[in-house]
Amino acid sequence: MNREQSMKDKYHQLVNQYQRDLFRYAVWLTGDKQVAEDILQETFLRAWRSIEQLNDIDAAKSWLITILRRENARRFERKQLHMVDVDTELIVDQHNAYEAEQQQDQLQQSIMMLASEYREPLMLQVIAGYSGDEIAKQLNMNKNTVMTRLFRAKKQLMQIMNITGDE
């Protein structure tokens, strides 16, 4: 097998294995499926361009998450605000969908209220599915520090959302 075919195979393996996890993480970061798809596409494009730099396939998920986080940051560098005429917007009353969206928004806003030192490990665990060891590696921290931050993040999140531990 030639080198180019080997790189293509490695790339396709990465896309197939991590696309769903990365998409969920991107949706969580952006709050918008279309933006998440764009960021995911850019992530995989950058991964393809740098596939030769990936020596350890076991580090691929962390590598891709890092690329995705950087792509999301780049989005704000070039962000332009769009004006919308409220009178032209269509308003649909779907009570159940609205409530679910409100709960999701409340959860996302509550998580965003956490200090970044707590928010980021929590997002990596819940959205990306990382273990404590993987989060520690991704954030260059001691595992005990990560586990403490996860515990505190969940405790603070419950307080922010006014949830008791008895429920």
What CATH number did the domain enclosing 41 receive? 1.10.1740.10
Per-residue pLDDT, averaged over 47-73, amounts to 82
Q: Nearest CA to 23 among 129, 106, 120?
A: 129
| pLDDT tens-digit series, residues 101-135 | 677 777 778 888 888 888 888 888 887 788 899 88
Specify the CATH number for the domain of residue 154: 1.10.10.10
- How many residues does the structure list for the chain? 167
The parent domain of residue 154 ranges over 96-160
Q: Is residue 87 part of a domain?
A: no
Q: Are residues 56 and 106 part of one domain?
A: no
Number of domains in the chain: 2
Measured between alpha carbons, how far is 146 from 142 in angstroms, rounded to an integer? 6
User: Which pTM value belongs to this model?
Assistant: 0.51
Helix segments in the chain, DSSP class H: 3-30, 33-49, 60-77, 95-113, 116-126, 132-139, 143-160
Q: Are residues 137 and 100 part of one domain?
A: yes
Specify the higher pLDDT residue, 4 or 118: 118
Per-residue pLDDT, averaged over 87-101, amounts to 50
